[in-house]
Structure 1
Amino acid sequence: MLKRQITKVDYLTIVMCPDEMARAKMEAKLLWGNGDYKTYKEAYNAVLCADVLECAGNAMQPADDLEFEQDFLLFAEQSHHADLQFARKVQQLDKAEDRNSYLKTVVRHTKKYKALTRLIENDLNTFMSLLNTEVATKADRYSPDLEPWSYKENPGGLFTYEKSATLFRHGVSSGQIAWGANNGGCMISFGGVGCAGIDIPKLHSMLKKMPNIKITRLDIAYDDYEGKRTVEDYHRYMLEGGFCKKNQPPKFSYIQTGELQMLTQEQQDAWRKKHGWQKRYDAVANGGNTLYVGSRKNGKLFRAYEKGKQMESTTQQNWVRAELELRAIDRVIPLDALLNTDAIFANSYPCLAFLSDEKFDIPLNPRALEGRLHHERLSVYHAKSYGKHANFMRHILQLDDSQIVDLLTAGLEPWEIPESINMALVQPPNSNPMEQIQ
């Protein structure tokens, strides 16, 4: 029997894709890694266009069995190369950015793209069916004829996904869905209202049976309704080193809200006499305090705030909520994290160990972190060794930034990067892998 967790999942984002799309991603990674394409996105688009083009490196030859849909033929005829067939046009695009832009437009007209999109939509329909019949809490499934979960498609996409929709739980906006073969799968996000209507153990069991599932964001919330540990206490823990692991102090932000109260004339005179300047108001922090420790950019953020004051509660005025936000940046969040939220929360920072004696740590991915550190270290060395020379070229020789870059990278191919970074680099889906270390 599963142990009841004190903490709860307050936000969850997962991504998934069919096996066929996972294979297309892997093919694109191989093409990009071999230097056949300048970006992962271009390589992925070329894989999707494989039934229209025979792609060998950067040279694209027309296939024997070209079949175009009527709308695409119309698009080609209206272009400024109307007298050329599609394959000949691609061959004539010498510039990589032109070829990549054209592939991006063409890919949505290929049979493979449409087939993969249908597979994604089938997976989404299956997911929604299981969400309503198995994963929704018993309280939400009080009537067999009523489906608690539904979604409404939005007119546009979301992030880099082509299509998107809003998730509703009993008619209340509770999350988001985004999908499309252009991004290699789909994304499903549950907000706080959505997570409250999910049986987490059943969701975990369902996700375990699905292929190519990945958690990209997990928020864990600990509610202290009596306020035994205040926001000021967490701030003190921070000053004592309670949020430092391996002597690496994180960044923080401490926000106070409240109102200004007018001082009496006697108080103003006393302040002026003591400090030499006139103080007319006193700042009373009675609107709720908030502490942030860490950074979303690094994939780990802690926040504590006075939830009772935020909700203007009359029965739970001392309610303090502490939240841990984890993102799949330089780390892999396992599915079992859904069942061990107490242990994860307690092991995230030393000062949170009071919550649980169990151990469940989510370490950094050493390969991704190593690539980032190599990049940062080389950037420091370059600035010290060649920064003045680059400054000379910009201000004395009057070269613009692109000219300086072209001069320093003359003769190099786009995939020629430092071996220390290349060996450690983890390529994310549907993006330039260098974005991971920027």
Structure 2
Amino acid sequence: MHDIRAIRENPEQFDAALARRGLSALSPGILALDEARRAAILAAETAQAEQNAASKQVGAAKAKGDEAEFERLRALVAEKKTEVAAMQAEASAKDAELRDILLTIPNLPLEEVPQGADEDDNVEISTWGEPRKLDFAPKEHFELSGVGANMDFGTAAKLSGSRFVVLKGGVARVHRALAQFMLDLHVDEHDLSENITPVLVRDEAMLGTGQLPKFSEDSYQTTNGWWLIPTAEVTLTNYSAGDVLDENALPLRMVAHTNCFRSEAGSAGKDTSGMLRQHQFEKVEMVTICHPETAIAEHERMTRCAETVLERLGLPYRKIVLCTGDMGFGAQKTYDLEVWLPGQDKYREISSVSTCGQFQARRMNARFKPAAGGKPDFVATLNGSGLAVGRCLIAVLENGQEADGSVTLPDALHPYLGGKTRLVDGHLV
């Protein structure tokens, strides 16, 4: 959420930043509402002061035995009480209206973020690894005989409908091994703290990270009101909601492996084959809560953590910075990592790592107390995939495929697979 004081102080800068996201100027309407809100608050406070003064005079009139003055002042107090209640209600309504507007406005991009309208304007930063030169026509993951019936879309459709999958046998074990490998790497080498979090959360948690109110259709809500998390970003980031942390406790670097749920609203017809785009999937999610001045360095660090997963698995990838028109709602800057999929003959997103500045913290009222003293300030928050487990499985299967349909598995996974090195007809050998 945006700081209304910053908008008041520099509305032109605010509107210019929104323009980089392709949005029209919003400061005139915001500031007009803010002025009306402040006037309503002042009027309510003035009326309250008048009510308090009249209340004191009531007591004095009664002490003097002046019945007529006592009755007049008592009537005045009752009138002021009604007036104050109406004014306070108006001030609260305008305050809520302003908050509702601010909650729907996306974060402002950093100056270094490239200008652009959509994914075609994203900028490649670097590449790592060389795609294998295959002497056969590569297949997509779901076509490989080495995967076989152990990636079962038919049973999943019977159970749950489209965009679900049942993993079995060796394929299921490789999927589990990937998640374990990622967690061990992040905990043992990247100094992230492992967490197991709920997948059902309250409205407030979704609001804090920006999924509500604007993007409710992208998530699932239960009949009794809880939301299924789209990623552990929601739970991990909200650890600090409403808290005032000690500066010396920062940064908090966390990781969690969870099921994630997305309705995929607006994605009809996209990636309908295989398990690239599912309603239920697993991710190893990284979240950092830090001092605002260290957020940029933490962004680079977190991105490097995700890159290391791909490099240890020997998966070619490229790193891109998203343009202003392709960034997520809460991001100031985002790096995407795109892994090479030979079956599609293209790079596809496998991790998105964003710095959000104080945008989410202001929504959650998450602050820190400066070590040198002074008023608490909002923390900065960052989040990133480290990685999407299902997409990583796809990449491992497609990049390790052999001419006979079997799959050679990355060395980094062998210890998690009991020393098995290949996937043949869905079995580990």
Same-fold status (TM-score > 0.5) = no
TM bin (shorter chain) = under 0.3
TM-score, scaled relative to structure 2: 0.26
TM-score, scaled relative to structure 1: 0.26
